[in-house]
Amino acid sequence: MRRQAVSSTSIASVGYDAAVSTLEVEFRNGHVYQYLEVAKRLYWALMSADSMGAFLNREIRDQHEFRRIS
């Protein structure tokens, strides 16, 4: 999945695959996670959030199944 670099203290890059509703997040520590069944509106909200890390923790992390891919 293609990710784009973001300006965040905890997140390095973010990608989204609308065909399968999967959000991919690369953290500054190098770990990459995929969050499953994430609505496109949440992706856009994450990308425009004042604090991407706080938004991810509050709205996505505990509400969606995820897998670590690296």
Q: pLDDT by residue (tens digit) across 1-46?
A: 999 999 999 999 999 999 999 999 999 999 999 999 999 999 999 9
Residue 49 has a pLDDT of 97
Q: Which pTM value belongs to this model?
A: 0.95
Q: Place 56 in a pLDDT band, splitting at 50, 70 and 90.
A: very high
Rounded CA-CA distance 26/20 in Å is: 18
Residue 50 has pLDDT above 90, yes or no: yes
Residue 70 has a pLDDT of 85
Q: Which two tokens stand for residue 9?
A: 């203290």
